[in-house]
Amino acid sequence: MSPSVLLGITGGIAAYKTPWLVRLLTQSDMDVRCVLTQAATQFVTPLTLATVSNNPVHYDMWANRDRPGVEHIALADEVDVAVIAPATANVIGKLAAGIADDLLTTVFTAVRCPVLICPAMNVNMFRNPIVQRNINTLRELGWNILEPAAGWLACGWVGEGRMPEPEVIAEEIRRLLTPADLAGERILVTAGPTEEPLDPVRFITNRSSGKMGVAIAQRAAMRGADVTLVAGPLKVQAPQWVTHIPVRTAQEMYDRVMERFPDVDVVIKAAAVADFRPGNSTLEKLEKSNIRPTIEVVPNPDILMTLGGLKRDDQVLVGFAAETTDVLRKGRGKLKAKNLDMLVLNDVTKPGAGFDCDTNIVRFLHRSGEEEQMDIMPKEQVADLILDRVKALRKGLVS
């Protein structure tokens, strides 16, 4: 059955973005019910919301006179996640004080599912200590608060108070709908390529977009893990909810990963680390006439190999291998040489596998000798399968 989302809309200018939010949610197979304050109907029409949600829209406490007082309880009972976007200072204040004097505040006082509040207002209203106190009251009661973004506000001020973009809110809703089966796990993921400078304008790199590692970080965070993402230059956006540590070179990645390794339970190394760097990089741009036909290179530290040597018994280490020839033999060799619990092997010559695409075709090689070949599937799905195995491995180690 489709998850059910109750979307409360209050009277702020950002309400004009809510039909797009509804569209994003319905495209993700969610059943969306909208409830508006009277003020919200000035900014976005119930007809628009009814059309995009394909559901009746509710904004009048007394509309359903046959069953007075029942509609709000029915709306509150039937939802998996309840969201208010945008949430005005007025409605936040009422909910924090337990005031239920219209349909929206009455419904939200009755909900028992996870709640997400997206405050949106003028920057000075947002910074007002009374508003901050009310937001904190809701937070302390276990409601989720999505901090507003900063930027130009409709009132002409610049500062925090903008409603986050519908894509960001939709991701947060997806997270609230996902069971937190990795809660308590501290997972470090590496992603993307590294760049090894020859001079200030030229570098050696590879074709990694970061999609595979970002998908793992994203799904791990959605499933409740505490995620650190150490990533080279990404072609995709780092996910919400993770601690993103951007790096450029293999040496920087090595340093950042080593600092954090003692404090994590799991490392998943999806990054495509450059094995070599130019031996004599310069601080000034090389003149064309000074570039020699051969570039001398020196080896970079092998981060995964070092981790394999340092690994504690309660830590899980997952490596990747991107191969083009003699794939299985090389993958098995890396699993052993780097002392891994599991290796994710991809033959990057196969269409739909490896670099820069949205899918992957992988084979899991386990320390036990067991191997699992997966079909082509989206990288998010590969990520979930890896995380399922990580969860089982951790369970075996710590229980």
Residues binding ligand PMT (CB under 6 A): 208-212, 250, 269-273, 275, 300, 302-304, 319-322, 334, 346, 348, 354-356
Helix (H, G, I), strand (E, B) or coil at 395: helix
Q: Which two tokens stand for residue 46?
A: 């119930």
Contacts of 103 (CB under 8 A, 6+ apart): 35, 37, 58, 59, 60, 61, 71, 72
Whose Cβ is closer to ligand PMT: residue 46's or residue 233's?
A: 233
Q: Which two tokens stand for residue 131?
A: 């508003």
**CA 145, 23, 10: angle at the middle one, nearest 5?**
45
> Whose CA is closest to 304, among 287, 286, 285, 322?
322
Minimum CB distance to ligand PMT, residue 346 (Å) = 5
Minimum CB distance to ligand PMT, residue 191 (Å) = 6
Whose Cβ is closer to ligand PMT: residue 25's or residue 257's?
A: 257
Whose Cβ is closer to ligand PMT: residue 94's or residue 338's?
A: 338
**DSSP character at residue 369:** S
**CA 315, 317, 320: angle at the middle one, nearest 5?**
170
Whose Cβ is closer to ligand PMT: residue 44's or residue 234's?
A: 234
Whose Cβ is closer to ligand PMT: residue 2's or residue 324's?
A: 324
The span from the CA of 332 to the CA of 357, in Å, is: 24
34 is catalytic: no
Tell me which residue has tokens 């994203």.
218
Compute and round to an integer the Cα radius of gyration of the chain: 25
Minimum CB distance to ligand PMT, residue 239 (Å) = 14
Selecting among 34, 113, 155, 357, the annotated active-site residue is 155
Minimum CB distance to ligand PMT, residue 254 (Å) = 8
Cβ neighbours of 107 (radius 10 Å): 25
Minimum CB distance to ligand PMT, residue 277 (Å) = 10
Residues serving a catalytic function are: 155
